[in-house]
Structure 1
Amino acid sequence: MIDPQGQANKWIKNMEKANNLHVVKLSDADFVRTLENCIQFGTPVLMENLGEELDPLLEPLLLKQTFKQGGSMRIRLGDSTIEYSQDFKFYMTTKLRNPHYLPETSVKVNLLNFMITPEGLQDQLLGIVVARERPELEEEKNTLILQGAENKRQLKEIEDKILEGLSLSEGNILEDETAIKVLSSSKVLSNEISEKQAIAEETGKKIDQACRGYTPITVHFSIVLLHSRLGQY
């Protein structure tokens, strides 16, 4: 996680506090021993202050090079072979603002950018303001998001069903009654879902328009917060 403002660190520490999170740095003399213990017992680890190069010792861990031995999952770190718990979680953060990681590093991890931009901060503040001032809008917007995801899921199922019907049909599809029924029912259902989706999108636009009425407030406070943050560096 690219985390110059420390947001990711704070989020991880809060999220994993109850799970006995261990925080380490590559510069720590005992970081390997801590890492090995946490891997075995399924305890989460946060590695802070990473640079642009990772310790080669982490390679098997990032590639999840686990193997079965004696009925249990194991992994080899350096000269040690240790038991690997499926509950283990590994987080890494860097304070670098614009790190350049090699492609071979990027494919081994999920890279998240927590760098605050004015636009991103405004979006966050807008969500907070709307949730406080117009909670019904925020709730309706979240409902629409869920409905949209469900509509897309149903449309995907219909597409799969049509493709399955076409693949199973033998000869001229126009003479296959089963295939024709599948296509007809799918078309009706697809039209109904598309109509619902269109209504949802129109409603979403109205909600967004209402939310944008609070934009001047969020712009003002984002500028105040950014200036305040910059003053800390």
Structure 2
Amino acid sequence: WPLMIDPQGQANTWVKNMEAKSGLRVIKLTDGQYLRTLENSIRIGNPVLVEDIGETLDPALEPVLLKQTFQSGGRTLIRLGDTDVDYDLNFKFYATTKLSNPHYLPEICIKVTIINFTVTMKGLEDQLLGDVVRKERPDLEEQKDRLVVSISNDKKQLNDLEDKILRLLKESEGNILDDEILINTLNNSKLTSGMIQGRVKEAEETETSINEAREFYRPAATRGSILYFVIADLALIGPMYQYSLTFFSRLFNTCIDQSEKHEDVATRLDILSTYVTNFMFNNVQRGLFEEHKLLFAFLMCTAIRRAGGIIADDVWNFLLRGAVGSHEAKHPNPSPAWLSKE
């Protein structure tokens, strides 16, 4: 079963949306009755999401994680504690942790599939790009969403056809050419496969053109992604400075709605980028101590300029670490009066 590293809560949201119609039960290991809820879910086949897992797991979950089912009297059972529970094959188990860098022992790693849902700069940029295009060009984003679903369904249908052919070949006895069902299935599959592959190719070409149109809006998404990681890093300065991705996304979408509109895309993106920067700074700095406000402004400024190539990496590293390597200066001291060798 999956154990998802999810400091921003994206995996939680995804699982809840995906399993909403299946009667998802959400529990925490700190709940007094969580084993009873888990037992009922296993019996009737409801999916279970365990939130806020730490670096250790309750030993009572081991039979579930290892899927230690057994047969008795024609029934599939699993032992939870001292109780044998009927095991429904529709049961699903998900676990998430808010720890950003957990250290799990090997005995835990072999019981679960660890999936890292931690947001990355590029991943967040793509998410914010979707938000920008959805509001600026809703027709493009709707068309892209439909294409993604269409391509996925067509590819699934192709895989199902391949599996069906392989199953018929495996089950065929005697001369294959005498098996009319198999021959007819192969002929139909060939026609269907050709049609699906044509649709997939056409859809992928259309998707490429849509992506090219969406790329015009990437600068605003890039600016938003840079700002989020600057704001998230404030937690390194003080533990009180905790800002969720949900909070940031809500502010970012507010900026798209409230900023000045313009027919020219380049001008509109410049307006949006400036508005987002000012809006985020004004909203976040209100919750900072006075001594940290200037530092926050400095981090925002340098992050934007480094992303734009105005501040080179070697210059930034020199500021942070000083001269590394040779102790002999390659350039003369520009102002020895205030910049001493010590």
The TM-score, its normalising length taken from structure 1, stands at 0.71
Q: CA deviation at 1:153?
A: 3.6
Moved more, 207-216 or 222-231: 222-231
Structure 1 156/143 Cα, relative in aligned 2: closer, same or farther at 3 Å?
same
Higher Rg: 2
Asked if the contact 1:66–1:84 (Cα under 8 Å) also holds between the matched residues in 2, the reply is no
Asked if the contact 2:66–2:111 (Cα under 8 Å) also holds between the matched residues in 1, the reply is yes
Structure 1 191/96 Cα, relative in aligned 2: closer, same or farther at 3 Å?
same
Partner of 2:200: 197
After superposition, residues 1-233 of structure 1 pair within 5 angstroms as 1-8=4-11, 21-25=26-30, 33-42=32-41, 44=48, 46-51=50-55, 53-67=56-70, 74-78=77-81, 80-81=82-83, 83=85, 86=88, 90-101=93-104, 105-159=108-162, 164=168, 170=175, 186-231=189-234, 232=241
Structure 1 210/36 Cα, relative in aligned 2: closer, same or farther at 3 Å?
same
- Count of residues in correspondence between the two structures: 221
Structure 1 190/221 Cα, relative in aligned 2: closer, same or farther at 3 Å?
same
Distance, in Å, in 1 between the alignment partners of 2:125 and 2:164 is: 43
User: Percent of counterpart pairs with the same letter?
Assistant: 43
Query: Which amino acid in the other structure matches residue 109 of structure 1?
Result: V
Partner of 1:28: none
RMSD: 3.9
User: Could you report, residue by residue, the CA deviation over 1:44-100 in whole angstroms, capped at 9, with x for unpaired residues?
Assistant: 45342411x43333211212334566897654334x215457587654333433334
Query: Which amino acid in the other structure matches residue 37 of structure 2?
Result: C
User: Could you report, residue by residue, the CA deviation over 1:119-169 in whole angstroms, capped at 9, with x for unpaired residues?
Assistant: 111111111112222222122112222222233244345545666479568
Distance, in Å, in 1 between the alignment partners of 2:173 and 2:154 is: 26
Q: CA deviation at 1:185?
A: 5.5
Structure 1 45/184 Cα, relative in aligned 2: closer, same or farther at 3 Å?
closer
Task: Please state whether the residue corresponding to 2:50 is helix, strand or coil.
Answer: strand
The TM-score, its normalising length taken from structure 2, stands at 0.51
Which structure has more relative contact order (CA 8 Å, sep 6+)? It is: 1
Structure 1 residue runs of 5 or longer lacking an equivalent are 26-30
Task: Please state whether the residue corresponding to 1:22 is helix, strand or coil.
Answer: strand
